Structure 1
Amino acid sequence: MISSGGHGWRIGTLSGIPVFLGRSWILVALVMVFIFGPIVNNIMPDFRVGAYAIATLFAVLLLLSVLVHEAAHAIVAQRVGFTVSRIVADFWGGHTAHDGAGGTPGRSAAVAVVGPLANGVLALLGWWATGWFEPGVAWLLAYAFTFANAFVAIFNLLPALPLDGGFLLEALVWRVSGNRYLGTMVAGWFGRLLVVLLGIWAISPMLIDGEDVSLLRIVWVILIGAFLWQGASQAVDAGRLGVRLSRRQVGEVARPVGVIPADAALDGVDWRSRELWIVLGADGRPEGVVDPRALSSVPHQAWSGTTANALAVRLPEGWAATLDESTRLDRVLEIMRSTGSGVVGLLDDSGRPWGAVLVDDVSASGGIGPRS
C-alpha cells in the first residue's frame, strides 16, 4: 500500500525500514524519458511514440537499481548495529538515513562499499541478460541497464564525498589517524577537487580541439557538480568543526545543571540557581530538560499545583550519555547528530546527571568557551 508522508510516498518496508519514493523522483523519470526516448527512436524508428514507453520502462529499471543500492546500505547498516530510519529514492538517486552511533572505520566502510557493489552485481546480471535476448527492445533495455549500473558503481567508488567512495576514504583516514572528522574533511576536499575535474572534462573538447560543447553535457555537469560541491562543502565544514572539537574536552564547555524529579512542584525549586534543569522520570533516568525562562508561561499562583513535568522538553532516546570531563568534545557532536537533539546530558558512572552541553557550545558560530 502506498501512503504519502514528509519524505514522499511510502512504497513499502524492508526489514522494518520504511521505503519512500521521493516526489522529486518524478522529475528524474521525466528527464530520463525525454533523454532516452529520442535515443530509442533513432535506434528503432518504427516504434515512434512507443520509444517513449520503452524509455519509461528504463526509468523504472533505474528506480529498481537505486532501491537495490540503498537496500544494500540499509541492510548492512542494520547488521553492524546502526539504527536505520528510512530509505528514500529521490532526485539525486537516493539516500539511506542511519544514525552511525558506535561507528568504527570498518563498519563505516562496510556500509559504504555495499551500495556500489550491489550496482556492480546488477551490471553483471544485465550483461548476462544481453546474451539471452535477440536485438530488440528487451536487449536494448538490458544493455542500458548494464551500462547505467556499471557507471553508477564506478562513479560512486571515486574517493570523494558525498559519494560512497568518499566514505571509504574517510574510513581509511579515520583508521590511520584515529580521528573520524579529519577523514571527513579530507574526503570533502577530494569532493571539491572532483567537481573541478568534472568542469575541466566538460569543456575539454573546446580546450583541446576547439569543438563545440553540447548544452546537454554542460547542464548535466552543472547539476551533478552543484550536488557534489554542496555535499563536499558540508563535509569540509563538518570535518573542520569536528577536528577543532576533538582538541577540546567536555569539561571545558559543560554547563552545570540542576536535577529534579518530574513530579517536583514548581514552587519547591530554586530555579535561579541553575540555567538548565534535567528532569528525571519515575525510573530515575533523564527524560528531558526545563529552561527556567519557561516559568513565565505559568502564573505564579499556580506554581504549587504545577509540576516540572508540565514544562519539561522531552528529548530523543540517547540524548544523555555517560561522559566525563576528559571526554573529547567531538563525541558530543556525534551524539547530537545521531539523536537530533540540541542538548546532550552528561551522566556520571552511576547514571546521575552532572552537566549538559548545548548545540551553541559546539557550533562554529556560537563559539566554544568555559561556562560558570
Structure 2
Amino acid sequence: MANADRPGWQLGTLRGVPIYIGRTWPVIAVIIIVTFGPQVSNAYPDLGGTAYFVAFLYTLLLLLSVVAHEAAHALVGQWRGYRVRRIVADLWGGHTAYDTDDTSPMSSALVAVVGPLANAVLALVGWLGLQIVADDRDVARLLIGAFIYTNGFVAVFNLLPGMPLDGGFLVDALVWRLTGSRTAGLLVAGWCGRVLAALLVGWAVVLPLVRGDTPGTFYVLWSVLIAGFLWFGASNAIARARSGRLFARVRVRDVLRPATVVPDSSPAASVRADSDVVVVDQRGVPWGVIGMADLSRVGQPGMQDIPVSALAQVQPDGWITQVPSVDVDVTALVRAAQDVGGAIQELLVVSGGQVAGLVSIQLLGEALAAAERPSAASV
C-alpha cells in the first residue's frame, strides 16, 4: 500500500533497500498499453483484445528493466560505502536515493556506469532468448524483441554525456578527477545536459521543420518532454555546483562554538557556565542542549539540586553531524539542516569520534549570506 510517508507501492527489498513502484508509474504504463496495444493488434489480428494484455506484459518487462538498472546503482553504491535509502520506478524511468558524502570520482563513475551496463546485459540475455523462439509470428518473439530494443536504447541513451543521465555523472567524475573539484564536475556536466536538451529539441522539432516536413504531434510531445526532463536535471546540477561554491567559502570552524559534554544525571550546580552544555545519556548518546543563559539560573534559590536533564532542551533526530575535520566546508552541515527541517536550531558537530562543538542554524545562515555578498557585489 502507498501512503504519505512512501514514494509509492513497495515491491520488496534488496539488501535492506526498499523497492517502490512510484505513484507516477501507472501513467507510463497506461501510455505504453494505449500505444503498444494497437501495434500488437495490427501485427496479430487474431489476438483481438488480448493484444492489450500483451502490451501490459511489456510494461512488466519494462518495469523489470528499470528495477535492474536502479538495483545495479544501489548494489555498487553499497559496495562503495553509500547509504542507499530506496529504489523507485517512476514516470521518468526510476531513481535510486542515497547519501554520497563519502564518495570519490571513482565511486561516482562506477555507480553511474553499472546502470546502463545492467540494461546492456539484459539486452544480451534477450537476444540469446530470441534464438530459442524460431517462429517469427510468435508473440513471445515480439515481446523479446521489444525488450531487447528497450534495454539497448536505455543503455545507450543513459550514457549520453550530460546531467541528469548516467553519462553526465561520468563527465562529472572525469572533470572532478582532473580538476580536484566536484563543483567544476557538476557545472560542466550540467551545461552538457542543457546542450543535450537543446540538441534533442533541434533534432526532433527544428530540423524537420527546416526540411519542410511536419513532425508528428506525439513524437514532438515526447521529445519536448524528455528535453524538459534533461533541462530540469541539468539545471539542478548547475544549481548544486553554485551552492557548492558558496559552501566552500565557509568552514565549519568559522561557525563552531565550544560545548561541554555532561551526563544527564549530573547536578546542574556542578557544571560551569562558561560554555553551552551538550547532555548525554548513560550510553553517551547526546540528546539535549543547555545554553549558558539557562545555566546561569542554577544559582537561584531552589535550583541547586536539580539535574542537568531538567534544564536540557531535547534535540530532534538528525541533529548530530559527522565531519572529518572542522577545517572542511559547511556542506555537511547544510545538508543535515535540510534533512531535519525547520524543527532544528542547533547542530552538534562530531569529528574523529569526539564532540567538536555546536553550530547555530541561524549563525550558519548568516555566515553563508555574508559569504555570498562579495560575489554578488562583484557581478
Root-mean-square deviation (CA, aligned residues, Å) is 3.5
Of residues 302-311 and 252-261 in structure 1, the stretch that sits farther from structure 2 once superposed is 302-311
Match for residue 28 of structure 1?
A: 28
CA shift at 1:311, angstroms? 2.8
Is the CA contact (8 Å cut-off) linking 1:72 and 1:118 kept in structure 2?
yes
Match for residue 221 of structure 2?
A: 219
Which residue, 334, 353, 358 being the options, matches 2:356?
353
* Aligned counterparts of 1:221 and 1:360: Cα–Cα separation in 2: 46
**Alignment deviations for residues 301-351 of structure 1 (CA, whole Å, 9 cap, x no partner):** 998588358631133386243522x323445456667x7677643346571
State the AA in 1 paired with 2:223: V
Which residue, 170, 173, 197 being the options, matches 1:171?
173
> Which SS does the other structure have where 1:81 is aligned?
coil
Is the CA contact (8 Å cut-off) linking 2:323 and 2:332 kept in structure 1?
no
Match for residue 137 of structure 1?
A: 139
Where does structure 1 lack aligned partners over 5 or more consecutive residues? none
* Aligned counterparts of 2:67 and 2:152: Cα–Cα separation in 1: 15
Match for residue 106 of structure 2?
A: 106
Match for residue 190 of structure 1?
A: 192
Is the CA contact (8 Å cut-off) linking 2:70 and 2:94 kept in structure 1?
yes
CA shift at 1:114, angstroms? 0.4
Which residue, 151, 159, 163 being the options, matches 1:149?
151
Match for residue 327 of structure 1?
A: 328
* Aligned counterparts of 1:286 and 1:32: Cα–Cα separation in 2: 52
* Aligned counterparts of 2:82 and 2:67: Cα–Cα separation in 1: 19
Match for residue 70 of structure 2?
A: 70
* C-alpha distance 292-50 of structure 1, shift in aligned 2 (>3 A): farther
CA shift at 1:102, angstroms? 1.4
State the AA in 2 paired with 1:328: D
Is the CA contact (8 Å cut-off) linking 1:362 and 1:368 kept in structure 2?
no
* Aligned counterparts of 1:289 and 1:154: Cα–Cα separation in 2: 53
* C-alpha distance 221-318 of structure 1, shift in aligned 2 (>3 A): farther
* Aligned counterparts of 2:288 and 2:36: Cα–Cα separation in 1: 54
Where does structure 2 lack aligned partners over 5 or more consecutive residues? 373-379
State the AA in 2 paired with 1:20: Y
Is the CA contact (8 Å cut-off) linking 2:322 and 2:350 kept in structure 1?
yes
State the AA in 1 paired with 2:148: T
* Aligned counterparts of 2:302 and 2:322: Cα–Cα separation in 1: 30
**Alignment deviations for residues 102-122 of structure 1 (CA, whole Å, 9 cap, x no partner):** 111111111111000000011
CA shift at 1:25, angstroms? 1.1
Is the CA contact (8 Å cut-off) linking 1:181 and 1:242 kept in structure 2?
yes
CA shift at 1:92, angstroms? 1.2
The structure showing larger relative contact order (alpha-carbon pairs under 8 Å, at least 6 residues apart) is 1
* Aligned counterparts of 1:329 and 1:262: Cα–Cα separation in 2: 29
* Aligned counterparts of 1:154 and 1:193: Cα–Cα separation in 2: 17
CA shift at 1:240, angstroms? 1.1
1:60 equivalenced with 2:63 (yes/no): no
Is the CA contact (8 Å cut-off) linking 2:105 and 2:173 kept in structure 1?
yes
State the AA in 1 paired with 2:73: H
State TM-score, norm by structure 2: 0.82
Is the CA contact (8 Å cut-off) linking 1:261 and 1:308 kept in structure 2?
no
* Aligned counterparts of 2:68 and 2:212: Cα–Cα separation in 1: 41
Rg larger for: 2
* C-alpha distance 354-293 of structure 1, shift in aligned 2 (>3 A): closer
CA shift at 1:77, angstroms? 0.9
**Alignment deviations for residues 76-96 of structure 1 (CA, whole Å, 9 cap, x no partner):** 111111121211111111111
* C-alpha distance 307-101 of structure 1, shift in aligned 2 (>3 A): same
CA shift at 1:215, angstroms? 1.0
Is the CA contact (8 Å cut-off) linking 1:279 and 1:312 kept in structure 2?
no
Is the CA contact (8 Å cut-off) linking 2:72 and 2:118 kept in structure 1?
yes
Is the CA contact (8 Å cut-off) linking 1:277 and 1:291 kept in structure 2?
yes
> Which SS does the other structure have where 2:354 is aligned?
coil
Is the CA contact (8 Å cut-off) linking 1:290 and 1:313 kept in structure 2?
no
**Alignment deviations for residues 185-238 of structure 1 (CA, whole Å, 9 cap, x no partner):** 211111111111111112144333211111111211222222222211111111
**Alignment deviations for residues 9-43 of structure 1 (CA, whole Å, 9 cap, x no partner):** 11111112111111211111111101111221222
Is the CA contact (8 Å cut-off) linking 1:156 and 1:163 kept in structure 2?
yes
State the AA in 1 paired with 2:103: G
Matched length? 360
Is the CA contact (8 Å cut-off) linking 1:182 and 1:243 kept in structure 2?
no
* C-alpha distance 349-75 of structure 1, shift in aligned 2 (>3 A): closer
Percent identity, aligned pairs only, is 39
Is the CA contact (8 Å cut-off) linking 1:242 and 1:333 kept in structure 2?
no
CA shift at 1:184, angstroms? 1.3
**Alignment deviations for residues 257-296 of structure 1 (CA, whole Å, 9 cap, x no partner):** 565544567898899x87x76443334443455689999x
State the AA in 1 paired with 2:191: W
Match for residue 83 of structure 2?
A: 83
